[in-house]
Amino acid sequence: MRGYFGIGAEEMSKPMNLGALMRTAHAFGSSFFFTLNAHPKVREAYNSDPSRSFEHMPYYAWDNLDAMQLPRGCVLVGVELTDDAVELPRFQHPSAAAYVLGRERGSLSPELIARCKHVVKIPTKFCLNVGLAGALVMYDRLLALGGYPARPTMPGGPKLDMTERLKPKA
């Protein structure tokens, strides 16, 4: 897959949610992880992340929006359930993006939304857990930019040629 991405959340307060999001980011190949104005106890998140993602990708704990510094050319994408947000299945992901999720008990701050180049929403009836929402965004990015061919028009997947699977690799 070309490009890179990072993912994070504003005002995280639950270490288990942060740990789950960090682990999922690591699994999907995130280049970095970040928090904005996180509660001090989220540092306990390392205990809820058995993949030890903090050893494999940088974690930036910015105290506020002014302190946040993304890499040059990295586009900030807010993930928020608002009427004017683009539905995730209709969104073209930037090749270099930082996805930011909202608070566990609330929405992204107006100041953060104003700084986002794009705002996307997962087309659900109500808000999802921050870890699950992050996983869906990263999975959608993988589908959109991962070089997968178009899905088949009929149910099922492509037929595997078992003889090709049994040949030794060169």
The mean pLDDT value for 105-129 works out to 92
* 79 within 8 A of 133, measured Cβ to Cβ: yes
> Please, which pLDDT band fits residue 78 given cuts at 50, 70 and 90?
very high
pLDDT of residue 54: 72
pLDDT of residue 87: 97
pLDDT of residue 167: 58
Q: Give the whole-angstrom CA distance, residue 35 versus residue 21.
A: 11
pLDDT of residue 56: 78
- Which is more confidently placed, 19 or 140? 140
Rounded to the nearest 10 degrees, what angle do helices 15-27 and 130-145 cross at? 10
Q: Where are the beta strands (DSSP E) in 22-144?
A: 32-36, 59-62, 75-79, 86-87, 96-101, 118-121
* 113 within 8 A of 65, measured Cβ to Cβ: no
The mean pLDDT value for 10-28 works out to 86
> Please, which pLDDT band fits residue 14 given cuts at 50, 70 and 90?
confident
Please report, rounded to a whole number, the percentage of residues in the chain having pLDDT higher than 90.
Answer: 52
- Which is more confidently placed, 105 or 162? 105
pLDDT of residue 165: 54
Check pLDDT > 70 for residue 164.
no
pLDDT of residue 94: 97
